[in-house]
Homo-oligomer: A and B are copies of this chain.
Amino acid sequence: MLINGQCGDSIAVLDRGLQYGDGLFETIAFIHGNAPLWDRHMARLSEGCRRLALHQQDAVRLAHEARQLLHRDDASTDRQVIKIIITRGEHGSAYFPREGDATRILYTRDWPQRVQQGIALHLCRTRLATGSPLAGLKTLNRLEQVVAAAEIKNAGFQEGLLCDADGFMVEALMSNLFWLKQGVLYTPLLDRCGVSGVMRAEVIEQAEHFGMRVQEVRETPEMLDTAEAMFLTNALGLTAVGEFSGKLMDVDAVPLKIRNAIQQLLS
């Protein structure tokens, strides 16, 4: 683990990352030492720093430090995950932020166990607060997700669909949602809450490249009753949904071109 370029594994209690969740993070897939979505991660991080008035990060330095951490000479090193956390450090007084260098943390995480294609998706009762000034950003304020995760676990599922307080679909706990209907690819709007995923952006670009129509919509889960296919995306891949709300979904109806494109990207 590197903290501001030095080996370490702890931060000050007074760091605003702990005090207020005053910071951002990125979870980045490295395949054979390269991060195919690196530029998208850096763009989101930069947008987050801009919106939170955090010091902009030097992407070259981040890449250099990530490479220092990647395991070498190991058969299991084809796929690795690096997590980057950026906090405002101790710069501020109570909620009021002050100019100053951010705290920069990088470390490797295990690549999660492969989620089977055909995952069963729980519809969460836990709702996301809506109309957030943080909408779209991957901030350190993730307690709603923790509450939803407890619900998902108790219900015996691995992933769950989250709606906002008004009942509109937003995203899954650890991924973004897409569904297919009559040749159109749909995904929820993320202008009022939710995290704007890097793989979501990649899938939208790929789909449009293949000539598909993609629509960002504000819809309730009822719209999924007539969906022909559903899939989830995050920085580590694409997963077809096999069951939702007691209904079996056709895993093979997920557009093959998109699946292949993402698989190729991560291989």
Contacts and interface: CB of A to CB of B under 8 A. Distances in A.
B149 A95 contact: yes
Copy total for this chain: 2
Contacts of A19: 25, 85, 140, 142
A88 B129 CA distance: 22
A57 interface: no
Nearest to A22: B146
A142 B21 contact: yes
Given A130-B130, A149-B97, A143 B140 contact: yes
Interface in A94-135: 94-97, 105, 107, 112, 126-134
Given A129-B129, A130-B130, A164-B131, A97 B150 contact: yes
A155 interface: no
Nearest to A154: B53
A10 B96 CA distance: 22
A97 B146 CA distance: 7
A248 interface: no
A175 B226 CA distance: 48
